[in-house]
Amino acid sequence: MNVGVKAQQGSILYFSAMIALCAFIGFAVVKVSSNLSGEHAVAASAKSTVPAPVSVYVVDGDTIGLGDGRPKIRLVGFNAPETGSRARCEAERKKGEAAGHFAN
């Protein structure tokens, strides 16, 4: 009986040591990688410039405009109903108007 208890105590000690070792290695890796990325971020930010802010406005459900005079931008992957003369049918025009009332 005594041998089994020693074996259990030895395996518990072994697994505890392995967990502590893994935790130490994980901490060291995180510390080293954060130091490296911090140095890299400082070097990168020193070289880059911040772009000037631009106002953005919504034209309709899938188109935005920029306040700096550039052409309107149509968002790919959005299929919002059109309004007015751009609608392909009466049902689409009604859906577009309903969405516009919801947004306002």
Q: What is the pLDDT of residue 70?
A: 86
Q: Do 36 and 76 belong together in one domain? A: no
Q: What is the pLDDT of residue 20?
A: 77
Q: What is the pLDDT of residue 26?
A: 73
Q: Do 46 and 60 belong together in one domain? A: no
Q: Do 42 and 69 belong together in one domain? A: no
Q: Do 39 and 74 belong together in one domain? A: no
Q: What is the pLDDT of residue 104?
A: 54
Give the global pTM.
Answer: 0.40
The Cα 93–Cα 89 span in angstroms is: 6
Q: Do 1 and 44 belong together in one domain? A: yes
Q: Do 45 and 2 belong together in one domain? A: yes
Q: What is the pLDDT of residue 63?
A: 84
- Domain count across the chain: 2
Q: Do 11 and 43 belong together in one domain? A: yes
Which domain, by its residues, includes 19?
Answer: 1-50
Sign of CA pseudo-dihedral 13, 14, 18, 24: positive
Q: Do 1 and 38 belong together in one domain? A: yes
Q: Do 41 and 19 belong together in one domain? A: yes
Per-residue pLDDT of the chain (104 residues; tens, 9 = 90+): 455 555 555 677 777 777 777 777 777 777 766 666 555 555 555 567 888 888 888 877 788 888 888 888 888 887 788 878 888 899 988 888 887 776 55
For 35, the token pair is 């130091």
Q: Do 37 and 69 belong together in one domain? A: no
